[in-house]
Structure 1
Amino acid sequence: MALDIQLVQSSKKKHKKDRKRNDRDSGTGDLAVTEEEEKRKRRKERKEKKEGAIDVVEVENGKEGNKLPAILADKPGPCTEPEKTKRKKEKKSRKDADSDPISVTESRKTKKRKRKHDQVSDAAAPSPSSPAASPKRPRVAISPAEAEDYLKAHNINVHLSPGTSALIPITSFDALPIPDSLRGAFSAFKEPTPIQACAWPPALSGRDVVGIAETGSGKTLAFGIPALARLLSSPGDVAGKGPRALVIAPTRELALQTYDSLSALDAVQCVAVFGGIDKAQQARTINKGVQVVVGTPGRVLDLIRDGVLALGGVEYLVLDEADRMLDKGFENDIRSIIGYTKPGAARQTLMFSATWPEAVRRLATSFLHDPIRITVGSDDLTANSRVAQEIEVFDDEREKDQRLLAHLKKLAPKKKEGSPLAARVLVFVLYKKEASRVENTLRRVGYSVGALHGDMTQPARLEALQQFRDGVVRLLVATDVAARGLDIPDVGCVLNYSFPLTIEDYVHRIGRTGRGGKDGQSITFFTGNNHERSLAGELARVLRESGVDVTPLSNKFPMSVKKKTHGVYGVFFREDVDMSAVPKRIVFDD
């Protein structure tokens, strides 16, 4: 091949010499020389014109401070010596390749692709001279000193393991390193809540997190945004595979609310699983392929045992309202569910709770790997500081109906169906039959009212809750199924017609108002009958912490604090004993 190329080149040179000799003999050589000189002259003029344009650019550059016209700035400058050498080599290589048509074709295709790529790159890149085309830069992370001031201002305690760098909160949505498709989740908010600002940095970096914060503090987005960002960073193929993220909630309503918040972003496939809904329909959705499962412990465990739900691919686990789930006796179910997920450090686990009792600490120690614990406020249960609390003490329980109607007359002056009220009013009662009775009483006097309790079917409960959210019904009578975690917008007042069985339920009830940074109001009827008398001391403690006068309580009831009892094991429960451990062998003495 090389020999053929050399023969072709030598024949070309010989042919060129013969042609020049013939030109001289025929007298046409002078004409050829004249044409060659004219070509050289035109090339020289074009070169001088180009250099003059570049000089103009340089002068303008010095005067205007690097503000170059886009056309002139993109033009190349005069060729330097290395560039000339490079061009000579390219010219020589083209001559060598003339004899190989395949090489010539490939070279032209490569150059064409390169020119096309350069044009696309130039079109995509913003011009430095155009400020409107420059992308918006996110805010720079705050300094360590500013982070310390932020933590003190919001009463945040961060517990880190030795050798861990200090936590720098994300105090601006612009500084949040997530895909743009997720930013619609907080378009209606000005800035992150304290638990969000502190939970996002470790959660986005893959660390395990324990978050202790009051109800209504934005915990759903605190764990939801990192979960979706992680799944979007490596989407993979979800068809026929199990979920990669699992969120466990204590109640059906809270599970559905979390599902609505995550699925509204339309980022990944989600499904909500809980009791009261056809299990076959949930199984069909799971079989189509989902990435996120949100559910209650009982239904999740049922689907696992039925062979429908496989958790071997779960790499992101969230335990929401962990203290509530343990109080309801779900500890063994939770341990069983976690046993089906990825083990140890292969799984990122986040646990959120309103309190930090020994049972929650033990669960965190068992399943979280070197977690960062973030406490907003206190480890103990505290009321929302934005809720104005009012207590009314009754000597006769029969007076409560009259006082209820008097309060609703101020809060809900219009009674006709569909007419707007001043704000949504949520009335809490203790028992299901009591909820039905109060609902009928209010309906008889002309109020448009809904109900939410355990005797209702799941579709009826969802419909009542949705109507209350949408404002179709602005007065709702509910038992404690609506006390935990539900985010209902614009609840102006919570009225406790009957006092709950625990002080924790009281705090969570009044936490349905004053959400999203808004102020709220709570009115509580207290008679001192049955279980209420023993809770007077704990109620007084919560009221004192919020700056409320407790004289009406202290004058009539003892201020002693009763020892907390477990929701399942009662007074016999001991927090220092692992209830999940059972003896493997029992030996009796002779």
Structure 2
Amino acid sequence: MADNLSEQVQNMNINDNESGYVPPHLRGGSRSRGGSRPSSRNSNYEGNNNEGSFFGFNNRRGGGSFRGGRGGRGGFDNNYGPRGASNRGRWEDGKHIPGPRNPKVELELYGAAEDPQFQSSGINFDNYDDIPVEASGDNVPEAITAFTSPPLDELLLENIKLARFTKPTPVQKYSVPIVAAGRDLMACAQTGSGKTGGFLFPVLSESFKTGPTVVDNAQSHGYYQKKAYPTAVIMAPTRELATQIFDEAKKFCYRSWVQPCVVYGGSPIGNQMREMDRGCDLLVATPGRLSDLIDRGKISLSNVKYLVLDEADRMLDMGFEPQIRAIVEGADMTPVGERQTLMFSATFPADIQHLARDFLADYIFLSVGRVGSTSENITQRVLYVENQDKKSALLDLLSASNDGLTLIFVETKRMADQLTDFLIMQDFRATAIHGDRTQQERERALAAFRSGRANLLVATAVAARGLDIPNVTHVINYDLPGDIDDYVHRIGRTGRAGNTGVATAFFNRDNSNIVKGLYEILSEANQDVPAFLNDAMRDASSGRGGSRGRGGRGNSTRDYRKQGGGNGSWGSRNTSNRSSSGGWGSKPSSSSGGWGSNSGSSAGGWGESSNSGNSGWW
């Protein structure tokens, strides 16, 4: 499917014209900026009338359900089964006694074997065998090669089989023995490479084996308790990621003594506190809601054996770092050295690694190469498209294929709503997710997208991190982010778990801050580098343009302790020009003009139609 989509898009010749993208209504004629609006399947181009809309600006409360983490509503409680189901195991006389099996609960958790949504057919797990892995630190434990007992607990192995996991991914191969050895871990692995299992499997396995820790007899496993004393705490930056982790935790906690719970903002806190009263051994939380519950005296962290930060680079970035530090250092959290701290993300810039070391002790840094860096699981394409042409270019891309799910990233909440309305007016089944939507609206939008009732999801950065949505075959960066690490996270929404996918980006002069990083990503992943990006890279290197912010990848996937002040990212990089003859999505370059230019001037700037000899590419 992804290969067909890539071929179809390539054949569209969007960037064959040397001046950039040409909208359909102008193809075959002279190019002008003041022409008529792009042709569409509906005359109401960007109209405010949402008649017949799917999830329009004024009609966003669609149907659908969302099982995970809504305080037990919908007939699903903390026994991770239908109300009244008693499948929880217990810890008794130093032994873990699993609860009874329940076919109804297993159907709810793992789905029917014949349900395509729960099948792993088409996933090429063999791609994982060739991925380079680098583990740095003292006395790194030997990696496992299969799910076996030992080192994994027998009950966990049964749940892993029910979830249809056949073999460990590279990050799982290393994280299981590292946690079993009592070591802290900073793991850098591609999105979609099994990071959630990378921390759930070892944490739950060790918890099943060692049982709960009682602190001053405060912990009680009765039906109600006034304060929660979780053994494991998993923090995530967004509500959607927290509920997704919780859904996965329910699968692997099935029939065990470990009771999972989730708390996050945007949902009634009273419901979440009542759920914690039923038991809370493994807590998944967003920082804000966790801090609130700690201040209310509802949660104590004095019993924590395992602290996990998922998407840790964002968690420790400017907006989250003070909250994380207050929770980890200002509350009653078990201190460094007495707990195990695990950090997972697709990128770990050196400055974030410096921050992270405050929460770690004698840690191992695990760097896992991206799935597809040589097998090209994710086909990345970059188009030069001016801002005013983006909507028309998007229609061309969406018309190339009607199969699978497409995730469209924009930078602002307002643009997410506007673009969703526009797509609905063109008779597309689109919905949106962003920070200004209520939690219920966000859950319904995700449910509609997962189920395929809406095959287009327009999203801001809220969906870029960690969300695992099956069957996403195409990711479109309608607006490129300002940080190349965010680009890595975005394209990771497709090509997950060994599947193939396509990632398309609209690029123009407004994206000069990530020229270097984008060039490096494409080169490292053996992707075609369009001619205009090569030209922009040369201009940036010559000083005519520069990167602002964290535009280059730098050392975001390497252990800074081993970098020695170098600036190269982990792994080899092929920087040869593979687009000298005009690559996919590129414009023919001339010896006299800058990239994306109509100019005959030797100093012509990219994306410019000016004949001025002094035009700069920025």
TM-score of the two chains, using structure 1 as the length reference? 0.64
**8 Å contact kept, 1:383–1:511:** no
Q: How does 1:440-479 map to 2 (within 5 A)?
A: 440-479=421-460
Match status 1:156 vs 2:133: yes
Match status 1:198 vs 2:188: no
Q: How does 1:306-385 map to 2 (within 5 A)?
A: 306-339=296-329, 340-377=332-369, 385=376
Question: Secondary structure at the residue paired with 2:198?
Answer: helix
**8 Å contact kept, 1:273–1:300:** yes
Flag as ranges the 4+ runs of structure 1 deviating above 4 A.
150-153, 382-385
**8 Å contact kept, 1:426–1:494:** yes
**8 Å contact kept, 2:347–2:485:** no
Q: Which has the higher contact order (CA 8 A, sep 6+)?
A: 2
Aligned residue among 204, 209, 212 for 1:233:
209
**8 Å contact kept, 2:141–2:181:** no
Q: How big is the alpha-carbon RMSD for the aligned residues of Structure 1 and Structure 2?
A: 2.5
Question: Secondary structure at the residue paired with 1:466?
Answer: helix
Match status 1:562 vs 2:511: no
- The 1-side partners of 2:388 and 2:375 are apart by 30
Task: Write out per-residue CA displacement over residues 374-415 of structure 1, whole angstroms, 9 at most, x where no aligned residue.
Answer: 11139xxx9995210011102x32222112111111221xxx
Q: Mind listing any 5+ residue stretches in structure 2 that lack a counterpart? A: 1-126, 213-219, 552-559, 562-618
**8 Å contact kept, 2:231–2:304:** yes
Instruction: Please report how far the alpha carbon of residue 151 of structure 1 lies from its aligned counterpart in structure 2 after TM superposition.
Output: 11
**Shift in alpha-carbon separation, 1:505–1:361, aligned structure 2, 3 A:** closer
**8 Å contact kept, 2:484–2:550:** no
Matched residues, percent identical? Answer: 38
- The 2-side partners of 1:428 and 1:152 are apart by 31
- The 2-side partners of 1:383 and 1:450 are apart by 34
Match status 1:549 vs 2:523: no
Instruction: Please report how far the alpha carbon of residue 223 of structure 1 lies from its aligned counterpart in structure 2 after TM superposition.
Output: 0.6
Match status 1:298 vs 2:269: no
**8 Å contact kept, 1:250–1:297:** yes
Task: Write out per-residue CA displacement over residues 255-300 of structure 1, whole angstroms, 9 at most, x where no aligned residue.
Answer: 1111111012323211111110111111222233210111111111
**8 Å contact kept, 1:383–1:507:** no
**8 Å contact kept, 1:246–1:316:** yes
**8 Å contact kept, 1:435–1:453:** yes
- The 1-side partners of 2:420 and 2:529 are apart by 31
**8 Å contact kept, 1:321–1:353:** yes
Match status 1:389 vs 2:366: no
Q: Report the counterpart of residue 482 of structure 1 in structure 2.
A: 463
Match status 1:407 vs 2:397: yes
Q: Report the counterpart of residue 19 of structure 1 in structure 2.
A: none
Q: Mind listing any 5+ residue stretches in structure 1 that lack a counterpart? A: 1-149, 413-421, 567-574, 577-590
- The 2-side partners of 1:391 and 1:358 are apart by 27
**Shift in alpha-carbon separation, 1:556–1:347, aligned structure 2, 3 A:** closer
- The 1-side partners of 2:149 and 2:394 are apart by 47
Q: Report the counterpart of residue 187 of structure 2 in structure 1.
A: 211
Question: Secondary structure at the residue paired with 1:238?
Answer: coil
Corresponding letter in the other structure for 1:387 = I
**Shift in alpha-carbon separation, 1:210–1:410, aligned structure 2, 3 A:** same
Task: Write out per-residue CA displacement over residues 341-372 of structure 1, whole angstroms, 9 at most, x where no aligned residue.
Answer: 11233211111122333333233432222222
Instruction: Please report how far the alpha carbon of residue 172 of structure 1 lies from its aligned counterpart in structure 2 after TM superposition.
Output: 1.1
Tell me the number of residue pairs that the alignment of Structure 1 and Structure 2 aligns: 401
- The 2-side partners of 1:348 and 1:534 are apart by 38
Going by fraction, where is helix more abundant, 1 or 2? 1
Match status 1:512 vs 2:487: no
- The 1-side partners of 2:150 and 2:422 are apart by 50
Q: Report the counterpart of residue 216 of structure 2 in structure 1.
A: none
Q: Report the counterpart of residue 423 of structure 1 in structure 2.
A: 404
- The 1-side partners of 2:453 and 2:342 are apart by 36
Corresponding letter in the other structure for 1:185 = I
Q: How does 1:226-305 map to 2 (within 5 A)?
A: 226-236=202-212, 237-239=220-222, 240=225, 241-265=228-252, 266=254, 267=256, 268-305=258-295
Q: Report the counterpart of residue 415 of structure 2 in structure 1.
A: 434
**8 Å contact kept, 2:482–2:513:** no
- The 2-side partners of 1:448 and 1:234 are apart by 49
